[in-house]
Structure 1
Amino acid sequence: MPNDKWNDEEIENLLRDFPKIQDRRPKAEVYKKLSHKEQAPKQPKRWLPLLVAIVTFLSISVLVASLLQQNGTDSSSESESSEAESTMATDEAPTEQTEPADGSTKESEGAASLAADGPEVKRSAVYESELEGAHVLRIGLAYHGYVVPTSFVIPEQLADTAEPNALELYETFAGQIDESGLGFDEYHPYEGELQQNGSTISHFLPDGHSYDQGSASTLLYLNSLEQTFMGQQEIRVLNEDGEAAQLSHVGTAEPLVPGEQGQSFYLLASSTSEWHLAPAYGMSPENVGDALMALQQSPNEDYRTPIPEGVSYRVEVDGMNATLIFEEPLDLEALDGMEAMQMIESMALTAQSYGSSLTVSNTAQVEWAGFDFSKELELPVSPNRIDWLEK
């Protein structure tokens, strides 16, 4: 006990009170028993069965885990193999089902390959070879003081007569054109009366007409007449009495001869930001060679050159035959399709306006978008094509 205090004397007294232990056996007997004392039997090792059970359990666990892993790997491999076979079967199935006996698969693949190369580049001007069953209404549309010749291709069944002349086409369809919707100013039909006699167009101006309000309006009017009736030999501007009209800024109106002077065709934008090919009035050289070379530079800030940056060429002229040669082999497919088309057609329209043929050489493509560069180009008959929709 922690509070009890013991001393040596008390301990000795306590020990004396214990009874004395006595062994009355003979010494011989005690010695004999000590000599022949049997060994006590060993206690059995109770932990050994437990150890064996643990080792057995662990061995079985490792074996089972190994077997499960092997089975899982085999199952995964079989699953992947089955999936691969299923995929292969799926991929092959359409081919087997859709492959025709006549071998048109190659044609389909070819068409798909062409489609992958991008949309087809189409010519934007009008060509004689594309006019079967149609008439062309060429009209000079106005925008901000400039004239853009535009060609409406009209199915022949819509015309009032089988072979309408230029004036009949104009009077039938000009009033139906949505000029503002196309990005131009509302300008047509002309004020006053128009008459056609053979290949001569006469315009009788009424009193108070709006074509003489300034030099710009007069030039716009005259350029519009020329582009609208480009196929005629002569255009006369008359007053109501049938005499040559007096225009404030030009004096007596002289007869116009459409196409008398060739024109360089540049790019000109309308209010829709669409670029059209249009002649540079009063800014074009006198010969086809200089006119083709001039296309590389814009004549003013309103026109834009149709020649892409980095493209250069020279021009050789032999009489009425012009040859345009690119300084470096030109890959038309490497250019933007529309830009490439505008370049080629501006050259062709420029040559056509001067009455010259045109050969383009040193191109990577022999044929491209309807053009055959191995010979003289087919020249347009009119720019900026719009197909007339039946109403």
Structure 2
Amino acid sequence: MPNDKWNDEEIENLLRDFPKIQDRRPKAEVYKKLSRKERMPKQPKRWLPLLVAIVAFLSITVLVASLLQQNGTDSSSESESSEAESTMATDEAPTEQAEPPEGPGAESGGEASLAVEEPETLRTAVYESDLEDAHILRIGLAYQGYVVPASFVVPKQLAGTAEPDSLGLYENFAGQIDESGLGFDEYHPYEGELQQVGSTISHFLPDGHSYDQGSSSTLLYLNSLEETFMDLQEIRVLTEDGETAQLSHVGTVEPIVPGEQGQSFYLIESSTGDWYMAPAYGMSAGNVQEALMALPQPPNDDYRSPVPEEVSYSVEAEGAAAILTFEEPLDFEAMDGTEAMRMLESMALTAHSYGASLTVSNTVQTEWSGFDFSGELELPLSPNRIDWPEK
């Protein structure tokens, strides 16, 4: 490289040869641009929502802890108060035991205080023990040409008199029954006048009554009368003049003896979907043995058998005693409780309608739901229990 040396004079001469740079912009414009500062967009404060959430969480935590501490303090106070009251009551109690009451029943009273209530049974019929403080109002309800006996259990305080007769119960309560609400046809009270003398009841039919419109309506009427006054000895159907009534499809109506012919009890469904026990009028066998054996096969499609398909049995009759034996040991606990109860009650009702006792054998349980299989079964008095509402 050349070793040129520059002196100050040469440098000054060189700078003078450069063109002069001139800025013709107004001073105000230059000043404005120099003073203007570009505004940068502010970045969002992303930490702010997180901070708010943290503060809220801490506040709730403190509040809950405070409440829990307060409740614990209150519970502790209540517990201490209860213990104190218990201690005071113990201290104030007499130190000597009261002498046991004297006289009959003193020991049984002590046993009663320790007795445990029996579990509720699945029974649907009315039994003797159900009538200690009640009367039974049995009515033959009507449904699509069939008669279904319903047993209304009326408390004695509602009956009005100590021992009302069948007609008194019927006249006082039959008109209050909501038959359609139960799933039946509106049929009661009967047209005309009813009179009871002793154990005989007479029905005086008015002119133009609706019980002779066809064979089915006539049979429905007569079977309903029998079921409604089952506890009487005789039912008479008369004209308004007191003469024996004539019905076109049966002729002269002979006096009816309720329960003279036994009936097999099957299941029938009402319009509400509820199942009731119903006798198969005109389709039942002539003796209790055949009637019990017929239960697995309903007489038509409107009835349903109360006996489950998997259950089979045999029946022997010895005079007025029927002995039913299951072919295989029957375990009631392994069955549906409702189905098992329907089967037993249909058998018991069938035997009762023939005036026979019933013994059931070859069961796993000796007792089940109120039934004792070690001897003759307790037979129901009437089917389809319905408790009368207390007002």
For residues 290 and 332 of structure 2, the distance between their equivalents in structure 1, rounded to whole angstroms, comes to 24
- SS of the counterpart of 2:226? helix
Shift of 1:129: 1.7
Q: Is the 8 A contact 1:121 1:369 kept in 2?
A: yes
Return the offset for 1:309: 1.2
Identify the residue that residue 189 of structure 1 maps to in structure 2: 189
- Cα deviation, 1:20-54, whole Å, max 9, x if unaligned, reads xxxxxxxxxxxxxxxxxxxxxxxxxxxxxxxxxxx
Q: Residue 46 of structure 1 corresponds to which residue in structure 2?
A: none
**Contact 1:322/1:356 (<8 A) preserved:** yes
- CA RMSD across the alignment: 1.4
Q: CA deviation at 1:316?
A: 1.0
Q: Deviations over 1:234-272 (max 9, x none)?
A: 000000000111101111111111000000000011101
Task: Summarize the alignment of residues 27-38 of structure 1 with structure 2, pairs less than 5 Å apart.
Answer: none
What secondary structure, in the 3-state scheme, does the structure 1 residue paired with 2:132 have? coil
The separation in 1 between residues aligned to 2:175 and 2:130, in whole angstroms, is 25
Please say if residues 297 and 305 of structure 1, whose CA atoms lie closer than 8 Å, have aligned partners that are also in contact: yes
- Which amino acid in structure 1 is aligned with residue 250 of structure 2? V
Question: Could you report, residue by residue, the CA deviation over 1:49-90 in whole angstroms, capped at 9, with x for unpaired residues?
Answer: xxxxxxxxxxxxxxxxxxxxxxxxxxxxxxxxxxxxxxxxxx
Q: Which residue matches 2:293?
A: 293
Q: What is the rounded CA distance, in whole Å, between the counterparts of 1:148 and 1:385 in structure 2? A: 12
Deviation at 1:130, TM superposition (A): 2.0
TM-score where L is the length of structure 2: 0.69
| Corresponding residue number in structure 2 for 1:358 | 358
2:372 counterpart residue number? 372
1:102 equivalent in structure 2: none
Shift in Å, 1:181: 0.3
Q: Give the aligned residue type for 1:366.
A: T
Deviation at 1:187, TM superposition (A): 0.3
In the alignment, is the contact (CA less than 8 A) between 1:192 and 1:204 conserved in 2?
Answer: yes
2:94 corresponds in structure 1 to none
Q: Quote the residue 2:211 is aligned against.
A: 211
Listed as ranges, the gaps of 5+ residues in structure 2 are: 1-82, 84-115
| Residue number in structure 2 paired with 1:153 | 153
Distance 1:173 1:296 in 2: 36
Equivalent residue of 2:243, what SS? coil
User: Whole-Å Cα distance in 2 between the matches of residues 390 and 185 of structure 1?
Assistant: 24
Matches within 5 A, 1:288-327: 288-327=288-327
Q: Which runs of 5+ in 1 are unaligned?
A: 1-96, 98-110
Deviations 1:275-309 (A, max 9, x none): 10110000111110000000010110100110001
State whether residues 141 and 147 of structure 2, in contact with CA within 8 Å, keep that contact through their aligned partners in structure 1: yes
Q: How many residues align?
A: 276
C-alpha distance in structure 1 between counterparts of 2:129 and 2:305, whole Å? 28
CA–CA separation in structure 2 for the residues paired with 1:173 and 1:120: 28
The equivalent residue for 1:345 is 345
Residue aligning to 1:279: 279
Partner Cα distance (2:349, 2:313) in 1: 17
Encode CA deviations 1:180-221: one digit per residue, 9 max, x unaligned: 000000000000000000000100000000000000000000
Over 4 Å off, 4+ runs: none
Distance of 1:300 and 1:244 partners within structure 2: 34
- Between the two proteins, what is the percent identity of the paired residues? 77
In structure 1, the partner of 2:27 is none
Report the structure number with the largest CA radius of gyration.
Answer: 1
Match of 1:245 in 2: 245
What is aligned with 2:70? Answer: none
Residue 177 of structure 1 corresponds to 177
CA contact (8 A) 2:121 2:370 kept: no
Corresponding letter in the other structure for 2:362: N
Structure-1 residue corresponding to 2:79: none
Q: Distance in 1 between matches of 2:147 and 2:186?
A: 12
